[in-house]
Amino acid sequence: MQLTRILLADDHAVVRAGIRNALEALPGIEIVGEVGDGDTLLQALSDLKPDCLLLDLTMPRFNPFQAIHQIRSTYPDLLILVVSAYDDDEYVQGFLSAGVNGYHLKDQPLRDLQLAVERVLSGERWISSSLLEKLLRPSQHLTTVPQLSTRQREILALLIKGQDNRGIANALHLSVKTIENHLTRLYRQLNVNSRLEAVNFVHDHPQLLAHKGATAVDNSPLAPIPKTEEASILLVDDNRRFRTQLSRMISKEYTHLLLYEAANITDAVHLAQRVTPQLAFVDVVLANESGILCTHRIKKQAPATRVILISAYPDREFHRLGLEAGATAFIDKKDLDTATLHRIIADSID
């Protein structure tokens, strides 16, 4: 009989020992490893390839919400059972929406933990009984998506990356007090009460991070593209200034298109998975990451997306590898003028 491989992640050795003892009493279970912090967790997932992860949310060097989204993206078939002391219903709902398969409270009997693992391994979702009443209350959350300012979208994007208020302030060259005021208004617009709820709302409504172009120029010589509400373009470049420049060039002519921006592979693939853009512009070099790998992963998540690789340093080998990865074309950045963009967009979005 093939054993189910389980990884335990909790920063308290005594707690891990108790969980191990409880689970080893179940048939068909093999505890393949134990970790106590975020860094070793990610390495263990890569090395051990477990079938199921039992996860505490308060380990050192561990941003739980960001990590769960990363783990779920990297290991889509991994079963995740949170074992936590926190019973706040909004907190629990946030992680359930993020993709965990169950949420178990640490103060429950070990027999309940065994039952939780059995249920999760059988494909069911597990929620500790004491949490059910809270979670079944009528939701007061916002059902429509508000229009946000550019500054609010920038703050949300940094919030998703796990930045605290000071980190956001430094990135945007603003004071911490200004960021606090922005967040207060932002929470009110989204009808949420915490950073976790705000981040979860964005993951459920990725169109919040998109922006539409400014009013089109009346005397533009370019023919308009048919207006489709879902039409969207993804711009992937680690150079924020270039992304802004390209975004303005596109939005000046095409006010109906939704524009999404990403600076790395993880964000690009997440957006491609959630919004399925018709067109993506991807820089060949993304800081220390490969735009060719990014192209491959985007095409894997969204095969219909047309990817245009761009580079300030055109190279034949990059061109060849890019086309093999699924790119439609390879273009020198200096050739991306308005007319060229129009031809590409007209060919891709109709």
Bridge partner residues of 281 (DSSP): 235, 308
CA–CA–CA angle 106, 112, 118 (5° rounding): 115
Neighbours of 105 (CB within 10 A): 20
The domain over range 211-348 is classified in CATH as 3.40.50.10860: no
Of the candidates 184, 94, 84, the one whose C-alpha atom is nearest the C-alpha of residue 134 is 94
Residue-level pLDDT at 54: 97
Instruction: Answer whether 66's CB lies under 8 Å from 161's CB.
Output: yes
Fold match, 4-135 / 150-209: no
Residue-level pLDDT at 144: 60
Residue-level pLDDT at 147: 76
Of the candidates 166, 141, 168, the one whose C-alpha atom is nearest the C-alpha of residue 156 is 168
Residue-level pLDDT at 137: 54
Instruction: Answer whether 128's CB lies under 8 Å from 108's CB.
Output: yes
Distance between first and last Cα of the chain: 53
Neighbours of 277 (CB within 10 A): 29
Single-letter code of the amino acid located at 90: E
Residue-level pLDDT at 228: 39
Of the candidates 292, 213, 288, the one whose C-alpha atom is nearest the C-alpha of residue 246 is 213
Of the candidates 19, 18, 26, 62, the one whose C-alpha atom is nearest the C-alpha of residue 41 is 62
Kindly give, in sequence order, each residue whose CB lies less than 8 Å from that of residue 280, ignoring residues fewer than 6 positions away.
Answer: 233, 234, 235, 236, 268, 272, 298, 305, 306, 307, 308
- Fold assignment, 4-135: Rossmann fold (3.40.50)
Single-letter code of the amino acid located at 217: V
Kindly give, in sequence order, each residue whose CB lies less than 8 Å from that of residue 44, ignoring residues fewer than 6 positions away.
Answer: 7, 9, 33, 35, 50
State the CATH architecture for 150-209. Answer: Orthogonal Bundle (1.10)
Residue-level pLDDT at 334: 85
Residue-level pLDDT at 128: 86
Residue-level pLDDT at 218: 33
pTM: 0.45
Tens of pLDDT along the chain (350 residues) come to 689 999 999 999 989 999 999 999 899 999 999 999 999 999 999 999 999 999 998 888 888 878 888 898 899 999 999 998 887 766 677 788 778 999 999 888 888 999 999 999 999 889 887 777 666 554 444 446 677 888 888 888 888 777 888 889 998 888 888 888 888 888 888 888 777 778 777 777 777 777 655 433 333 333 343 333 457 899 999 888 888 888 888 887 777 788 888 888 988 888 888 788 899 999 998 877 889 999 999 998 888 899 999 988 767 777 888 888 899 888 888 888 888 888 888 888 75
Q: Where are the alpha helices (DSSP H) in the chain?
A: 13-23, 38-48, 64-74, 89-98, 110-121, 129-135, 150-160, 165-172, 176-190, 195-204, 240-253, 265-275, 291-301, 316-325, 338-348
Residue-level pLDDT at 21: 92
Eight-state DSSP code of residue 62: -
3-state secondary structure of 10: coil
Buried b (16+ CB within 10 A) or exposed e, 304-340: ebbbbbbbeebeeebbebbeebbbbebbebeebeeee
CA–CA gap between residue 249 and residue 338 (Å, rounded) = 7
Q: Dihedral of the CA atoms 26, 28, 34, 36 (nearest 10)?
A: -60
Instruction: Answer whether 192's CB lies under 8 Å from 141's CB.
Output: yes
Query: In the chain, where are the structural domains located?
Result: 4-135, 150-209, 211-348
Kindly give, in sequence order, each residue whose CB lies less than 8 Å from that of residue 331, ignoring residues fewer than 6 positions away.
Answer: 308, 309, 310, 311, 340
